[in-house]
Every structure is written in C-alpha cells, then in structure tokens.
Amino acid sequence: MSEEVLLGLALLGILVGALAQAATGMGFSLVAAPFMVTALGPREGVAATVLLAVFASTVPLVRDRREVQPGAVTRMLLPTLVCTPLIAWAVRDVETRWLALAGGVGVVIAVALIASGLRSRWLGTPQAAVLTGATSAALNVVGGVGGPPIGLYAANAGWEPQVMRANLTAFFLVQNLVTALVLGVHLPGVPQLAVLGVGTAAGMLLASRLTPSRVRTGILALSLLGGLGLVGGAL
C-alpha cells in the first residue's frame, strides 16, 4: 500500500474518530489509532494520536462541562496517571513491531468485549474504576487506544447519556494530554487538524440526531478493520 493511501486512510480515521468523539464522548483513538500507527509507525503513530485526541475532546468538553462528575472522573484518572509513565518506561526498549501487534490485538479484543454487550455489577464499582483506569493506561501507551476499558466501565456505571458523554470526554482529555507529555509531543499537521475540525463540528451537529446504536456500530466496525490491519502489518 502506497504512502499516499496510508496517509489518506489516517485522515479518514481522524475525521470519523473526531465525529464519534463529539457525538458520544469516546471513539477518537479507537477509530484513528490503528490507521495512524499503520501510516506513521507504532511510536510516532501513538504519539500523534494521543495529542490529536486532546484536541478532539476540547470543544466537546466545553459544551458538556456542566454534566461532568469530578469524583467519578477522578476515580478513573488516578490509576491512569500513576500507571502511564511506569508503562511507558517499561516498554521503552521493546521492538516497535511488537508494540504494533500488542496494540492491534488489544483493539480486536476490546471491540469484541464491547460488541458482546458485557454487563456486570462489579464493573460499575470503584474497584473496577481502578482496574479499568490502569488497563486503559497500558493500552493507550502501547497502541493509543485507551478507550475500551473505560467504555466498559461507563456502560456499567449507570450514568445518563449526557453525563456519560461528559465524564468520558473529561477523562480522555486529561489522559491523552498526560500520555502525550510522557511519550513526547508530536505536533499534528495542517491537514490532520483540518479534518479533525470538520469531524468535531459534524459530530456536535449530529449528536442529538444520531441514535447511539448507529454510532456504536460504526465505531466498532471501523475499529475492528483498523485493529486487524494493524495486526496484519505487524506479522
């Protein structure tokens, strides 16, 4: 696959990911990261994705700031902020091919879990918040895809849709900002910022019109394709 095609797919992933993030509170990295890593390589692709994810969360958080529950967000963030630098240090010398494979497998497994509609009372507890926060940190460092564990927790936390979107947006903004600082800031290009802006605007306009099931189906389908492509490229 040519470099131009790979970069085009990366832009498509950013566009759709930004739309999903603005509409649902999550989905940017889950959609964009596999394509970004395939186009730019594991380390550069993850670094670029997490910084773009910060921008993808900023405007939606301004919109939803009144719905954020600081206590709930903090419970998820604390283990994430503690684990992120430790995990980055632990994998600093690991061959990038294995990081790509780990990230791809993580995406596929996460998509399967979310698609299965996994529900558990334990997944809505504070203990689960700690575990999912730490797991999210690991997936974010190695693959730029920290969303699925947090999505599973949120789906079982009993939050109203608006509160869920606000809490997720706040969490991912802080998590990705810290991850970007730990991994090294990779400034996005003008085309990346342009398509991110278009996707964010579209997602905010469509947030009240799209059914959650349609958004969810689209995110999972694109994420699965991206994850499988990431695994195939690493093998």
**Which pLDDT does position 7 carry in this prediction?**
82
Lowest mean per-residue pLDDT among 28-32, 143-147, 164-168, 211-215: 211-215
Backbone angles phi, psi at 194, to 5 degrees: -65, -50
pLDDT at 134: 87
% the chain with pLDDT above 70: 86
The residue ranges of every structural domain in the chain are 3-234
Residue 4: pLDDT over 90: no
Tokens 């990366």 appear where? 10
Res 161: pLDDT: 77
Note if the pTM is more than 0.85.
no
Write out pLDDT tens, residues 108-149: 887 787 777 766 677 777 788 888 888 888 888 877 777 777
Asked if the model's pLDDT at residue 102 lies above 90, the reply is: no
Question: How far apart, in whole angstroms, are the C-alpha atoms of residue 79 and residue 31?
Answer: 24
Q: Alpha carbon of 204 to those of 29, 74, 150, 164, 214: distances in Å?
A: 17, 25, 21, 15, 15
Q: What's residue 220's pLDDT? A: 67
150, amino acid identity: I
> Contact 175/146 with Cβ under 8 angstroms?
yes
Say if residue 187's pLDDT is above 90: no
pLDDT at 215 > cutoff 70: no
Instruction: Name the pLDDT band for 208 (thresholds 50, 70, 90).
Output: confident
Helix residue ranges per DSSP H, the chain:
3-24, 28-40, 42-64, 70-90, 96-115, 126-143, 147-155, 161-183, 190-206, 212-234
Q: 56: Cβ–Cβ under 8 A, 6 or more apart, which residues?
A: 17, 18, 21, 22, 28, 196, 199, 200
Residue 78: the pLDDT is 93
